[in-house]
């Protein structure tokens, strides 16, 4: 099976348009920006000088390879073998920096001087402002006004790093609206500006490009598993899914190994039977958002439904086209995990292993409760980020646990 985009950026070989996801549904005015990227990204990111600098920054600036940790107590608890891929140990605290490092180097090669990005919880904004400081580029971050209020400490970090935060007051004043505003900025600044999208979403080539930058996760993991278990392949890989970039990264080098089960956790919020969740794959329908065709949370007449999850990184109303496709062909499965289940999993990991996970990552950990493993199975969980940013939410629930 070949799971790659075609020349127009679609996943899926079928000529039936209902079976394909991705593409670039862009307004005429964005044509030049996107064409420049589409025509150049592969040649640049596969070039020797790019690879050399990318690998060197991942090693000495980000701190890669991220360790693969055998979680002994957790393994005993679930009577199987559980490894954690420690993306939480990366500089800035999550996998997002893998992508922003790749894109800032690409922007440099394209001769860009100014960077724009959208952010919801502020994690991608911080990762973007970080690489802009590193590379001395102008940095503008679009953030919904609602999120600016809720995520004050990340706003402060972005400012200290030299980024300018523009509060977005349109729509629901959250991530979706910030993304619209960033796309609009890009239309008016096509020559000097690069737009760093934070996940495997948006028009072609972003889903494929961001997947490639995040694929370093599974590239490292194959070697680490050989070292630790004698085999490159685990039985299961578990990850959480917002837009889908950390899951895409840890799945990538296993997509064709059909004996490896790929399972992702969606933000189930207060339950998929309520209207407050972010379970795009379980509950979404095909549509177009941010210039890409994928599954979306929408009403009967195509209005986007505002998603909800306890974890800010999971509440995007869409999902990357790769995941819509993997779901369609049943190569990966997508299970929703509620806020409450994620909280329980976060406290369990903290107590058993001394690791406080990001709330997003706790959704992946909660899958352990929903699946059955054998004593000889090898299960790898992508620990996409650390929990410092979520302490306030955790503290509110300490008494409950
Ligand atoms: C942003 C974020 C996510 C969700 O984004 P994906 O693109 O789905 O990976 C997950 N975990 C953490 C820690 C994040 O910061």
pLDDT computed for residue 172 by the predictor: 85
pLDDT by residue (tens digit) across 304-334?
999 999 998 898 899 999 999 999 999 999 9
Cβ–Cβ < 8 Å for 384, 88:
yes
Q: What is the pLDDT of residues 107-166, one digit of tens each?
A: 999 999 999 999 998 999 999 999 999 999 999 999 999 899 888 999 999 999 999 999
Residue 361 Cα: closest atom of ligand 1: 11
Rounded distance, CA 373 to CA 370, Å? 10
Q: Which residues line ligand 1 (CB under 6 A)?
A: 94, 96, 123, 199, 240-246, 313-314, 358, 360-361, 384-385
Residue 19: predicted pLDDT: 79
Q: Identify the segments of the chain with pLDDT beneath 50.
A: none
Q: What is the pLDDT of residue 271?
A: 96
Among protein residues, the one whose CA lies closest to atom 7 of ligand 1: 245
Cα torsion through 352, 66, 267, 131, rounded to 10 = 130
Whose alpha carbon is nearest atom 13 of ligand 1? 385
Positions annotated as catalytic residues are 96, 118, 384
What's the CA gap between 263 and 332, in Å, rounded? 6
Kind of pairing, strands 193-195 and 285-289? unpaired
Q: Please report the pLDDT score of residue 153 as a whole number.
A: 92
From 157, 242, 389, the mutation candidate for ligand 1 (largest count of ligand atoms within 8 A of CB) is 242
**Ligand 1 atom 1: residue of nearest CA:** 313
CA–CA distance, 394 with 356 (Å, rounded to integer): 10
| Paired tokens of 298 | 């929408």
On whether the pTM is more than 0.85, the answer is: yes
Tokens of residue 47, six digits? 């070039």
Neighbouring CB atoms inside 10 A of 124's CB total 29
Query: What is the whole-number distance in angstroms between the Cα of residue 358 and the centre of ligand 1?
Result: 9
The pLDDT of residue 399: 61
What domains, with CATH codes, occur in the chain? 27-57+96-210 (3.40.50.1100), 65-94+215-395 (3.40.50.1100)
Contacts of 259 (CB under 8 A, 6+ apart): 233, 235
Element (H, E) at 267: strand 261-269
pLDDT at residue 1, rounded to an integer: 60
Find the 60 Cα to ligand 1 centroid distance in Å: 22
What's the sign of the alpha-carbon dihedral 289, 32, 204, 196?
negative
First-to-last C-alpha distance (Å) of the chain? 45
Query: 7-13: long-range contacts at Cβ-Cβ below 8 A with a sequence spacing of 24 or more?
Result: 8/204, 9/38, 9/203, 9/204, 9/205, 9/207, 9/208, 10/204, 10/321, 11/321, 11/322, 11/324, 11/325, 12/325, 12/328, 12/329
**Number of other CB atoms surrounding residue 380 within 10 Å:** 25
Buried residues in 309-341 as b, exposed as e (16+ CB within 10 A): bbbbbbbbbbbbbbbbbbbbeebbebbbbbbbb
Q: Output the CA 299–ligand 1 centroid distance in Å.
A: 25
For residue 198, the CA-to-ligand 1 centroid distance in Å is: 9
Name 287's bridge partners: 294
C-alpha angle with apex 123: 186 to 42, nearest 5 degrees?
50
Q: In what order do the strands lie in the sheet with 164-168?
A: 164-168, 138-144, 114-119, 193-195
Question: Rounded to whole angstroms, how far apart are CA atoms 5 and 114?
Answer: 29
């Amino acid at each position: 099976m070949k799971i790659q985009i075609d020349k127009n950026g679609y996943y899926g070989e079928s000529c039936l348009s209902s079976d394909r996801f991705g593409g670039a549904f862009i307004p005429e005015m964005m044509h030049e920006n996107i064409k420049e990227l589409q025509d150049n990204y592969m040649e640049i990111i596969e070039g020797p000088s790019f690879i050399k600098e990318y690998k060197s920054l991942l090693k000495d600036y980000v701190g890669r390879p991220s360790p693969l940790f055998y979680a002994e107590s957790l393994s005993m608890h679930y009577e199987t073998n559980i490894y954690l891929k420690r993306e939480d140990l990366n500089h800035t605290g999550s996998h997002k920096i893998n992508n922003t490092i790749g894109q800032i180097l690409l922007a440099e090669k394209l001769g860009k001087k100014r960077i724009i990005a959208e952010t919801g919880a502020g994690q991608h904004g911080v990762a973007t402002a970080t690489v802009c400081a590193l590379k001395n580029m102008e940095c503008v971050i679009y953030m919904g006004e609602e999120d600016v209020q809720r995520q004050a400490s990340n706003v402060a970090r972005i400012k200290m790093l030299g980024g300018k935060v523009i509060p977005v007051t349109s729509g629901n004043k959250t991530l979706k609206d910030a993304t619209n505003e960033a796309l609009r900025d890009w239309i008016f600044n096509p020559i000097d500006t690069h737009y760093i999208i934070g996940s495997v979403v948006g028009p072609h080539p972003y889903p494929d490009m961001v997947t490639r930058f995040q694929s370093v996760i599974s590239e490292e993991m194959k070697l680490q598993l050989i070292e630790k278990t004698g085999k490159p392949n685990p039985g299961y890989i578990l990850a959480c899914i917002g837009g889908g970039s950390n899951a895409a990264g840890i799945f990538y080098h296993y997509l064709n190994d059909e004996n490896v089960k790929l399972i992702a956790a969606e933000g189930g919020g207060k339950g998929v039977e309520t209207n407050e969740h972010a379970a795009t794959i379980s509950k979404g329908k095909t549509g177009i958002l941010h210039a890409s065709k994928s599954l979306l949370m929408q009403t009967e007449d195509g209005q986007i439904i505002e998603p909800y999850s306890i974890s800010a990184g999971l509440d995007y109303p869409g999902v990357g086209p790769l995941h819509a496709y993997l779901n369609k062909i049943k190569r990966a499965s997508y299970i929703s995990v509620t806020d409450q289940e994620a909280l329980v999993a976060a406290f369990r990991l903290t107590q058993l292993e001394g690791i406080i996970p990001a709330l997003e990552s706790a959704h992946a950990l909660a899958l352990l409760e929903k699946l059955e493993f054998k004593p000889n199975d090898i299960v790898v969980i992508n620990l996409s980020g650390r929990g410092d940013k979520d302490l306030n939410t955790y503290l509110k629930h300490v008494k409950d646990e």
